[in-house]
């Protein structure tokens, strides 16, 4: 057994939505370090371009700014990617939104925005990219990685109704997509992150010490923690993992006392 290349992404292509910051950027940097050619997308063009420029010191990184909150936007991103590559080894569906508000005041707009981007977009973007994904899978196992959340598995005190519904749905959608894509030699998995500092998770970013007291591991997640999980699933090491959701949360979901 030669394990030297188990985690290598040399020669692979990856597209990461929401790749300009937070978890998406962590994954992008990790993939670059393992030799992948990385394309990042985000709604804000300036931020996407700046991040790509910063990441270029680690390898091949290209900015493809696009709003993927609609099926038309998903097709637009797929077309932009197609102008650069004919196949896609790894798709990371990471772009997401959150909304928190009291139940009695929770608006329809807060429901639709979150469900559309967090649940509808991963399905329709994957559909738009099915041709290059299947092209890459003729040579080795292709990968689709959906970024879910531990809020799709358990609950916290926040009234984030549309967010928890979207992430729970994404975890189950991952299983259904895995069943369909197995025939195409493509593995579909999900990552359910816990507390990682980001613009979306400002509590972890701004109150890390306080939050860490409630995490069995005693700290919030680092860029290396997230990159390592994504590299495992994206590389040869994760070829026999499909339909699963990898929980990366320092023990909050499965190793926390109820006392």
Instruction: Answer whether residue 53 is part of any domain.
Output: no
Q: How far apart are CA 81 and CA 68, in angstroms?
A: 13
> Comparing C-alpha atoms, which of 66, 161, 172 is closest to residue 114?
161
Tokens 């030669």, located at residue: 2
Please say if 258 is a catalytic residue: no
Q: Are 153 and 168 within 8 A, CB to CB?
A: yes
Model confidence pLDDT, tens digit, residues 180-207? 999 999 999 999 999 998 777 676 666 6
Instruction: Answer whether residue 207 is part of any domain.
Output: yes
114: domain CATH number is: 3.40.50.720
Model confidence pLDDT, tens digit, residues 157-177? 899 999 999 999 999 999 999
Strand partners, 187: 143
Model confidence pLDDT, tens digit, residues 72-129? 999 999 999 999 999 999 999 999 999 999 999 999 999 999 999 999 999 999 999 9
Instruction: Answer whether residue 42 is part of any domain.
Output: no
Q: Looking at the 3D structure of the chain, how many domains does it have?
A: 1
Q: Which of 81, 161, 163, 258 is catalytic?
A: 163
Burial class of 107 by CB neighbour count within 10 A (0 to 12, 13 to 18, 19+): exposed
Instruction: Answer whether residue 1 is part of any domain.
Output: no
Q: Residue 110 CA to chain centroid, in angstroms?
A: 21
In this prediction, residue 96 carries a pLDDT of: 96
Q: What pTM value is reported for the model?
A: 0.96
- Taken as a whole, the chain contains a residue count of 259
Q: How far apart are CA 191 and CA 197, in angstroms?
A: 16
> Comparing C-alpha atoms, which of 34, 85, 24 is closest to residue 58?
34
Instruction: Answer whether residue 105 is part of any domain.
Output: yes
Mean pLDDT across the chain, nearest whole number?
95
Domain, as residue range, for 194: 76-256
Radius of gyration of the chain (CA): 17
């Amino acid at each position: 057994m030669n394990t030297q290349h188990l985690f290598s992404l040399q020669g692979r292509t990856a597209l990461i939505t929401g790749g300009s910051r937070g978890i998406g950027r962590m994954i992008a940097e990790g993939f670059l370090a393992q030799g992948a050619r990385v394309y990042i997308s985000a709604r804000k063009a300036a931020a996407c371009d700046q991040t790509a420029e910063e990441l270029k010191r680690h390898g091949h990184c290209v900015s493809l700014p696009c709003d993927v909150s609609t099926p038309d936007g998903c097709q637009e991103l797929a077309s932009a990617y197609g102008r650069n590559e004919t196949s896609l080894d790894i798709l990371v569906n990471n772009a997401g939104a959150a909304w928190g508000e009291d139940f009695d005041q929770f608006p329809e707009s807060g429901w639709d925005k979150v469900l559309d981007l967090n649940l509808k977009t991963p399905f329709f973007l994957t559909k738009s990219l099915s041709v290059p994904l299947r092209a890459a899978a003729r040579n080795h196992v292709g990968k689709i990685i959906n970024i879910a959340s531990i809020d799709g598995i358990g609950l916290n005190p926040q009234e984030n109704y549309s967010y928890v519904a979207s992430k729970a749905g994404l975890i189950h959608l991952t299983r259904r997509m895995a069943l369909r894509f197995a025939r195409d030699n493509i593995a579909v998995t999900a990552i359910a992150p816990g507390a990682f500092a980001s613009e979306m998770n400002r509590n972890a970013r701004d109150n890390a010490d306080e939050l860490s007291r409630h995490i069995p591991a005693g700290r919030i997640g680092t860029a290396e923690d997230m990159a390592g999980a994504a590299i495992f699933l994206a590389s040869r090491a994760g070829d026999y993992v499909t339909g699963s959701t990898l929980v990366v949360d320092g023990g909050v979901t499965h190793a926390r006392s109820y006392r």
